A = this chain, B = another copy of it.
Amino acid sequence: MELFESKFKESMITKVPLLNRITHYIVRRKGKQMRPMFVFLVAKMVSGGRFEERTYRGASIIELIHTATLVHDDVVDDSNRRRGFFSVNALWKNKIAVLVGDFLLSKGLLLSIDNNDFDILKLISVAVREMSEGELLQIEKARRLDITEDIYFEIIRQKTATLIAACCGIGAASVESSAEEIEKMRKFGELIGLAFQIKDDLFDYTDAHIGKPTGIDIKEQKMTLPLIYALNNCSDKEKKWLINSVKNHNKNKQRVKEVIEFVKASGGIEYTTEQMKNYQSQAFEILNSYPDSKYKESLVTMVNYVVDRKI
């Protein structure tokens, strides 16, 4: 990971001093780096311990694209904070944040183009398209509050799972795996990504997350699985009350609290947790088709982390 980090930093260098100052700021406030870890561990597991220069590049590309989307997300959500520090848009304004995101996106793509990593490029470009589609689908559905379970799963598959799917697909592709194996690993990553987003959505209804208050999604009229389950399993009168609460009283803290309590009482949390564990099991099933190794073991740990994390 250390060598990766220095390669990643190198990949962002430009002739524009302002841009170097901003990317330097971003890199210092780095996250958990879960995505590059998936790239490396999958590459090692499927190849029996190998990885290539292409694996480093694949991980850098993923991290560049992921960073680009975070910078744009903070503009989209008008958010001032990112990982406990000021966001790029807060420090340098939206204007610059949009351009920095575009720069990081094209840098990521060029890194693969310049090295003829066209298989990696394909995997990542699909993810970039699906992420923006997923966010837009969520915005559209949030407005109408007419979201079904199917649409919820489609939204989280596109906005979150597709990039983790690309990580695992790229990990496999970087060590010359077959098309079938790349697809299998892509699917593995997708399952992890679905579980990851469901966990995130659960945090909004439970106090499990360290440092994140509950009810934010309701305030922003984001309909996630616990609420969707509650809506589908209550009386018409209760449904009316729920929809009215989210539509017209979403800024009222007491009312949001009541919605959370209603969702809890309806069994929405248990149902949602069950769905998440179901994806976790499916991910384990795929891992079990590989012989035991320390890489596989690390992947098991990471899958468990996704589901058990408190942050």
A-side residues, CB < 8 A to B, are 14-19, 69, 72, 75-78, 94-96, 98-103, 105-107, 109-110, 113-114, 116, 118, 121-122, 125-126, 128-129, 131-133, 135-137, 139-140
Contact = CB atoms under 8 A, between A and B. Distances in A.
A116 to B, nearest CB: 8
B113 A17 contact: no
Contacts of A14: 133
Nearest to A114: B122
A113 B123 CA distance: 10
Contact of A106 (B76, B94, B116, B125): B125
A96 B118 CA distance: 30
Q: Chain copies in the assembly?
A: 2
Chain B CB count within 10 A is highest, among A114, A122, A139, for: A139
B15 A95 contact: no
Given A98-B98, A113-B118, 5 more contacts: A18-B140, A76-B94, A105-B128, A106-B125, A109-B125
Given A75-B94, A95-B139, A118-B118, A19 B106 contact: no
A228 to B, nearest CB: 19
Contacts of A137: 15-16, 18
Contact of A136 (B96, B118, B140): B96
A133 B16 contact: yes
A140 B16 contact: yes
21 contacts: A16-B133, A16-B140, A19-B133, A19-B136, A69-B102, A75-B94, A75-B98, A76-B95, A76-B99, A78-B95, A94-B94, A99-B132, A102-B132, A103-B129, A106-B128, A106-B132, A107-B129, A109-B128, A113-B122, A114-B122, A118-B118
